[in-house]
Structure 1
Amino acid sequence: MAIEKEGTFEVNGHSLYTKSWLPSGATKAKLIFFHGFSDHLGRYEAFFSTLAARGIAVYGLDQRGWGRSVKKPADRGLTGPTSQVLADMAAFIAPHLPSSPGDPPVFVMGHSMGGGQVLTLACHPDYQESVVRRVRGWLLEAPFISFSPEEQPSAVKVFAGRLAARLMPHFQLKHEIMPEHLSRDPAVREDLARDELMHNTGTLEGLAGLLDRTAALARGEVRPQPGGALRSLWIGHGTEDKTTWFPASRKWFDECATEIKDREFKTYEGWYHTLHSDGPDSEQFFKDVGDWILARCEDEQPEAKL
């Protein structure tokens, strides 16, 4: 049984909604989680409760511009540039990092857009010593490394959007993500369509930053820094994901993660984008993530799984 707590996180004058799922017994590990585009923590309830029941405390926040951190319509999609996104993430992770040898190990995970953000942070040279080296493992759920063919915008639209972002950074633009592209479960699709917190609105500045991060990942320009600060990496992706592209995740893993000894790529055959809510099979995803985290609480030198 999980103990749920709501709160706020203050960063640079902004108050962001937070929620944690804590074990009723001993805490074996901590997981810091970052959600995806037009997403919020409320969509991960079953996943986080299951992890907490296994002794993994989960801490998350609705990022700037999303979910319950939106106080007024003008806040929607107002994420700021990539530098702000990464600074927010690092600031939220920092208080949870171990301060003594007996503290539970910390893991960081992101889904979709959040997965791309987490990977960018884990590979960023400015955060290697302050954050990356102190995190035991990094997990990515269907990370946004490239659009799926179904969601790929035209080159003209991308160019025009980046140009406009320089002139009108806070201009809001809708980017609809079809519920039928996210989950195989009809009940989840209906719930997604009704979810008023999922506003599908970005700002030109935020969308441009998202596109730039994704392009850098897809080109292989973002990869682990020399020195081994990024110790462990797990990527899970569904082969029928219609939002982010499975082949791009696999390609990045095969070409850019070779220096990470402890790495695993988990293929979910036939699954869609929200592995945490893709029908009854999602319980297997819960188990895979929990098993991977708990194994690293016991074993500091696991072997790679290719």
Structure 2
Amino acid sequence: MNALRQSDQCHVLSCGLSWPFSPQTSFHFVLLISLLFNPLTALILSIHHTPIIRPIRMVLEQEGTLSISGAELYTKSWLPDGPVKAKLVFIHGFSDHINRYPAFFSHLASKDIAVYGFDQRGWGRSVKKPAEKGLTGPTTQVLSDIAAFLSQPHLLGSPGSQEPVFVMGHSMGGGQVLTFAAEPKYESLVKKARGFLLEAPFIGFSPEERPSWLKITLGRLAGRLMPHFQLVHKIAVENLTRDKHVQVSIKEDELMHDTGTLEGFAGLLDRTNDLQQGKMKLGKEGVVKSLWVGHGTADKTTWFEATKQWFEGCAGGVKDRTLKAYEGWFHQLHCDGECSGEFFEDVANWILERAGGEKEEVVKAEEAPKVQEVAAVPEVADEGSQKAEAKL
């Protein structure tokens, strides 16, 4: 499982065509053709020696397992082929797994940001038999798993990484990351992180997905009697992304099993309720150094308005904080069609701007939090879509 896999390397012409040769070989080839047909061009090329071909950055993918409290959890990393400027730990969402984000993670790695993730207990390749589907354990177990992963020596463990470490969560994973950051038990570990990022965090149900009060109450009661009872909860793929190809990919992915346990659902509901009611705050100054939140205003799975209300009322202890509203976007910002490249760049730039050192942590206390709005985007086409997706 620890085998190192390297993605195929190729070189690309300025016009975007694939080319199988190295830049140096290609330059000599072009020079030879120029000598035959246009000596003046050959002379200019030989003087400036400016290759018209540039190499694509190579991303290294490394798989493994990590033993945590009796469970063997699947891990994967996306690593730059050169010096690392920052590290990002990513926590996935409900009925999700870490291999659903290849385009996003490869982009970050190409920007010298190493990405580390794992399939959480009950999800993805960490499930070894049907009875383990959705078997996350209570919230205490979920947070303990996150802490154990972060405590590895190359991340936040003693002595810790030389490069700044950031922590990011998507959807349910975003709610878990927020709960972790607000939990006093893990304050010393949270302080070591350079910043936290949230993609469409599950702070509140969207009106389309909100269950009734009676259903929630009965579910909690049943969970106490049969905590490991499995229940299938499907989310309409049309509510996750506008990309038709991604919608098909979600339906065909057998690892996205849509199965939770009553105990797991109860924990998710409790975390969400605590966040929405303001019980989980980042109020202690200096614990969380920096915070970035991105959410689509047309998200039909988690509610943008709940995220905005939490950001405005519960993140006061973080002076360096930004909320970006993606106007008209759906739940999966990382694969909502061709526009997702903007999200890639937003995340990469925010991390790199804070990866330079402690001097960037100094933010004037009187500065208001940044709330960014973006223009509406057109409906995405079916062509050229990205196959990287996550769920709740």
- Normalising by structure 1, we get a TM-score of 0.97
Question: Residue in 2 aligned with 1:85?
Answer: 142
Deviation at 1:103, TM superposition (A): 0.4
Q: 1:186 to 1:125 in 2, by over 3 A?
A: same
Question: Residue in 1 aligned with 2:64?
Answer: 7
Alignment of 1:67-216 (within 5 A): 67-95=124-152, 96-97=155-156, 99=158, 103-129=162-188, 131-216=189-274
Deviation at 1:216, TM superposition (A): 0.3
Question: 1:268-299: per-residue Cα shift (whole Å, max 9, x none)?
Answer: 00000010110011110000000000000123
Distance 1:25 1:91 in 2: 27
Residue identity opposite 1:126 in structure 2: K
Residue identity opposite 1:275 in structure 2: L
> 1:38 aligned to 2:95?
yes
Distance 1:297 1:228 in 2: 17
Residue identity opposite 2:361 in structure 1: E
3-state SS, counterpart of residue 151 of structure 2:
helix
> 1:305 aligned to 2:370?
yes
Instruction: Return 37-46 or 221-230, whichever deviates more.
Output: 221-230
Question: Residue in 1 aligned with 2:344?
Answer: 286
The answer on whether the counterparts of 1:107 and 1:139 sit within 8 Å (CA) in structure 2 is yes
Alignment counterpart, residue 22 of structure 1, candidates 79, 85, 95 = 79
3-state SS, counterpart of residue 370 of structure 2:
coil
Q: Which has the higher contact order (CA 8 A, sep 6+)?
A: 1
Deviation at 1:97, TM superposition (A): 1.4
Deviation at 1:102, TM superposition (A): 7.7
| 4+ residue segments displaced more than 3 Å | 98-102
Alignment of 1:220-259 (within 5 A): 220-259=278-317
Distance 1:265 1:186 in 2: 28
Kindly report the root-mean-square deviation, in angstroms, between the aligned alpha carbons of the 2 structures. 1.3
The answer on whether the counterparts of 1:137 and 1:232 sit within 8 Å (CA) in structure 2 is yes
Distance 2:72 2:86 in 1: 26
Deviation at 1:231, TM superposition (A): 1.1
Residue identity opposite 1:144 in structure 2: F
Residue identity opposite 1:44 in structure 2: Y
Residue segments in structure 2 that go unaligned for 5+ positions in a row: 1-57, 372-392
Deviation at 1:2, TM superposition (A): 1.1
Residue identity opposite 1:34 in structure 2: I
Question: 1:83-135: per-residue Cα shift (whole Å, max 9, x none)?
Answer: 00000000001111175698000000000000000000001010001x11000
Residue identity opposite 1:72 in structure 2: K
Deviation at 1:258, TM superposition (A): 1.9
Residue identity opposite 1:56 in structure 2: I
The answer on whether the counterparts of 1:125 and 1:225 sit within 8 Å (CA) in structure 2 is no
Residue identity opposite 1:55 in structure 2: D
Identity %: 61
Deviation at 1:224, TM superposition (A): 1.4
The answer on whether the counterparts of 1:296 and 1:302 sit within 8 Å (CA) in structure 2 is no
The answer on whether the counterparts of 2:151 and 2:158 sit within 8 Å (CA) in structure 1 is no
Residue identity opposite 2:129 in structure 1: K
> 1:277 aligned to 2:335?
yes
Distance 1:243 1:196 in 2: 21
Residue identity opposite 1:301 in structure 2: V
Higher alpha-carbon Rg: 2
Residue identity opposite 1:77 in structure 2: G
The answer on whether the counterparts of 2:320 and 2:361 sit within 8 Å (CA) in structure 1 is no
Q: 1:301 to 1:180 in 2, by over 3 A?
A: same
Question: Residue in 1 aligned with 2:53?
Answer: none
Residue identity opposite 1:305 in structure 2: K
Instruction: Return 263-272 or 252-261, whichever deviates more.
Output: 252-261
Residue segments in structure 1 that go unaligned for 5+ positions in a row: none
Residue identity opposite 1:120 in structure 2: T
Distance 2:142 2:283 in 1: 20
3-state SS, counterpart of residue 128 of structure 1:
helix
Question: Residue in 2 aligned with 1:59?
Answer: 116
Distance 1:102 1:200 in 2: 35
Residue identity opposite 1:66 in structure 2: W
How many residues align? The count is 305
- Normalising by structure 2, we get a TM-score of 0.76
